[in-house]
Structure 1
Amino acid sequence: PEPRPAAGRRPALIPAYPAAERAVRALAEAVRYAAWRRTAAEPGRVPEYDDIQEAAAGADIERLLDRFTSDLAPGRSAALPPADAEALLARYGIHVRPALPAPDPDTAVRAAARLGYPVALKTTAPHLRHRADLGGVRLDIAGEAELRRTYTELTDFLGSPAELRPVVQAMAPRGVDTVVRAAIDPAAGAVLSFGLAGAPSQLLGDLAHRLIPATDREVGEQIRSIRGAPLLFGWRGSQPVDTGALEELLLRVSRLVDDHPEVVAVDLEPVVVAPRGLAVLGASVRLARPPATTDLGPRRLPFY
């Protein structure tokens, strides 16, 4: 006869699966959960940066909210003009590469002379933003004659300058194009997202997410967890990029959103990560009055 369990104890249950594949999948999930438990015990730290201007950023946010959200309905957010968004990000050591308006060829030439060649000519119309595949971004323009010719080709092909809203920007060092975002999720709270720019994130959804405030250990794991991560670390003989600078950028965005709940969305795209350093080429920020809440801090899974 089978032995009876001791009084007060439940009998041990042996899991059974209809196929070997399901058993292997369950075992893999158990291994992943055990690894997560080990790393969760040492989550890392939220670094301090001496150049962060938290109080000044808070004052800027209050001023901007008074200016841009006075007519907004409750729960709605406002997109900051590029200059205000870049100034706010700079308070947290996040510097966006300057882009000068170019409403006509002569202005574009003066902007390029100010920034220094080579330059890029880009459209900023919403339907063309970050769409290099449509010809809205022209790179490595080396001189005035080429810039004028490119400007004419761009406007003849895609539309008038008023529609395209072109800008001139100094060329960034070659590297891997990435995207860094932060947003408020109704279920999880503030979430930090990272992926490769373009098709990997837009078409394939290859993004990694972490709750804010993120620690140094978490962002290190985050950039390594996307499927396209090998491109950052020297895939097929390419030169590895500066992942240390990328991790610092993610931590600074996390700090900004954690310190100021009025910042409801940050979008940095593209962020070109080079072998040394990185360049933020585009940025947008949205602000809103935070709703009243009793839910303090990020949500964590309990341990049993």
Structure 2
Amino acid sequence: LAEALAAPPEDGAPAGPGSVRVPAYPAAERAARALAHVARYAEWRRRAEERPGRVPEYEDIDEAGAAADIEVLLTAHGVAESGPGGPHAVTLSAADTQRLLARYGIAVLPALPAPDPDAAVAAAHRLGFPVALKPTAPHLRHRADLGGVRLDLGGEAELLRAYSELTELLGKPSETRLVVQSMAPRGVDTVVRAAIDPAAGAVLSFGLAGAPSLLLGDTAHCLVPATDRDAAELIRSVRTAPLLFGWRGAAPVDTGALEELLLRVSRLMDDHPEVVGADLEPVIVAQHGIHVLGASIRLAPPPPRGDPGPRSLPAY
């Protein structure tokens, strides 16, 4: 900044290497915004130098097993050539998604299809009461505003009554794709996503589920591979972060487990360029532990890499 405020070259002197120009702005407000960007960047550089962060290793990650699964899945689906999210990308089934995530130590809460009331009862007995009943059709998924989710169903009578209500409210079970799922502890609903950006490469994203991310765009992003410092900053940089840390006397949730989940998703994306998209929603962050209620993964042959990795600005 001191160099930028130094005296400019004499009038008429061409600007060349080593010469300094004074920035000029048409309004003081724009100059103030520019200085704010400089200050934020300097603070970011300072924190990165003081605590550069590291990409942690997890002994339970099965990278080779995941690579073998991905190769089999791409072959089985006949996927030949593709780009990130392109027309030839394939979205894995729930079972394949859960198996691939399990290779990276990420468990998805069990859910069983309920095409009819008898199947719902059988699924509930298999999973153990209490259970939740919810639709999984794409046009109904994550639509809490429709009231299409029934929680804490403690017995057959409650489950059958809820099944009848949802069928009347949302339509035929074949259209809504109802499932019975094990109940998770109460907590804060969050969203973890990862995708390939054509310019930046793999990007990890985080936000709170529902209106904060969908309506207000309150989502934070970082490049993959994420470090432990990146994960900690990611969950603290959204505007709704206070809800995770005990807002208005509420009990703080397990942000350490949430950071670990982010790092494991980052490792999956970094280890396997064939994973062009991963959506974990919702992820309930409770006082102790996290619970992934839904997940999807998209695969495609590795896209061309024109960028060797995360970018960094030069030091001046």
TM score, norm. by length of structure 2? 0.89
Q: Output the amino acid matched with 2:216.
A: L
Q: Output the amino acid matched with 1:113.
A: H
CA contact under 8 A between 1:189 and 1:299: conserved in structure 2? no
Q: Distance in 2 between matches of 1:33 and 1:153?
A: 54
For the aligned residue pairs, the C-alpha RMSD in angstroms reads 2.3
**Equivalent in 149, 160, 164 of residue 137 of structure 1:** 149
- Secondary structure, aligned partner of 2:189: strand
2:168 counterpart of 1:160: no
Q: Output the amino acid matched with 2:287.
A: P
Structure 2 counterpart of 1:176: 188
- Secondary structure, aligned partner of 2:221: strand
Q: Distance in 1 between matches of 2:163 and 2:243?
A: 33
CA contact under 8 A between 1:119 and 1:141: conserved in structure 2? yes
CA contact under 8 A between 2:8 and 2:20: conserved in structure 1? no
Instruction: Identify the range of structure 1 (138-147 vs 204-213) with the bigger mean alpha-carbon deviation.
Output: 138-147
Structure 2 counterpart of 1:242: 254
Structure 2 counterpart of 1:295: 307
Q: Distance in 1 between matches of 2:41 and 2:215?
A: 29
CA contact under 8 A between 1:43 and 1:218: conserved in structure 2? no
**Equivalent in 41, 44, 53 of residue 33 of structure 1:** 41
Structure 2 counterpart of 1:231: 243
Q: Output the amino acid matched with 1:31.
A: A
2:91 counterpart of 1:82: no
Structure 2 counterpart of 1:186: 198
Measured against aligned partners, the alpha-carbon deviations of 1:48-80 in whole angstroms (never above 9, x if no partner) come to 000000000100000001011x15663321000
Structure 1 counterpart of 2:213: 201
**Identical amino acids, percent of aligned pairs:** 71
Q: Distance in 2 between matches of 1:43 and 1:301?
A: 15
CA contact under 8 A between 2:111 and 2:181: conserved in structure 1? yes
* Alignment gaps of 5+ in structure 1: none
Note closer, same or farther for the CA distance 1:103–1:26 as it changes in structure 2 (3 Å cut). same
Structure 2 counterpart of 1:263: 275
TM-aligned CA deviation for residue 203 of structure 1: 1.1
Q: Distance in 1 between matches of 2:18 and 2:227?
A: 40
TM-aligned CA deviation for residue 138 of structure 1: 1.3
Note closer, same or farther for the CA distance 1:126–1:5 as it changes in structure 2 (3 Å cut). closer
Query: Counterparts of 1:39-118 in structure 2 under 5 Å?
Result: 39-41=47-49, 42-68=51-77, 70=78, 74-75=82-83, 76-118=88-130
Q: Distance in 2 between matches of 1:13 and 1:62?
A: 54
CA contact under 8 A between 1:129 and 1:136: conserved in structure 2? no
Structure 2 counterpart of 1:213: 225
Instruction: Identify the range of structure 1 (37-46 vs 203-212) with the bigger mean alpha-carbon deviation.
Output: 37-46
TM-aligned CA deviation for residue 299 of structure 1: 2.9
CA contact under 8 A between 2:81 and 2:300: conserved in structure 1? no
Figure out how many residues of one structure are paired with residues of the other and give that number.
301
Q: Distance in 1 between matches of 2:171 and 2:199?
A: 42
TM-aligned CA deviation for residue 156 of structure 1: 1.2
Q: Distance in 1 between matches of 2:158 and 2:122?
A: 14
Measured against aligned partners, the alpha-carbon deviations of 1:118-138 in whole angstroms (never above 9, x if no partner) come to 111010111000112112211
Q: Distance in 1 between matches of 2:193 and 2:280?
A: 6
Q: Distance in 2 between matches of 1:129 and 1:30?
A: 42
* Alignment gaps of 5+ in structure 2: 1-6, 11-15
Structure 1 counterpart of 2:162: 150
